[in-house]
Amino acid sequence: EDRDVISLMLAVDPKDEDKISHGHGTVVYLPVESRSESVEEDEHDWRATLDAVEDNVLTVSVTTSALASVSRWQLSIDTKLVDTEQIKSYGTSVQFYLLFNPWCESDPVYLEGEDLR
């Protein structure tokens, strides 16, 4: 755990010839932080937090930005040892749909009344 640096890359699954980029918020790079490294949360920030380590299994929580694109996203994982430059990337077949959160005040679709949600 102290020797490894793990990052997640999440990218919108492009349609046709759409371009994806970090600047447009369609590609996000997240270093996986331990709970002790965790800083004050901002609803506009993405974050990845290491929840548990058991043998060779890691449990990571990902918090998405309230302003993230409603799209189908893909996940890949990058790892490296702390004192090296060599990165190993692991593509995954994991795809997920990121929708919206009417309970989050920062989300553009926020609904104030509980009866409306």
Lookup result for tokens 């989300």? 107
- Residue 1: which pLDDT band, with cuts at 50, 70 and 90? low
Neighbours of 58 (CB within 10 A): 15
List of domains in the chain: 4-116 (2.60.40.10)
Summarize the confidence of residues 90-97 as an average pLDDT: 88
Summarize the confidence of residues 13-26 as an average pLDDT: 70
Q: What pTM was estimated for this model as a whole?
A: 0.76
From residue 74, alpha-carbon distances to 6, 28, 40, 80 in Å are 17, 10, 26, 21
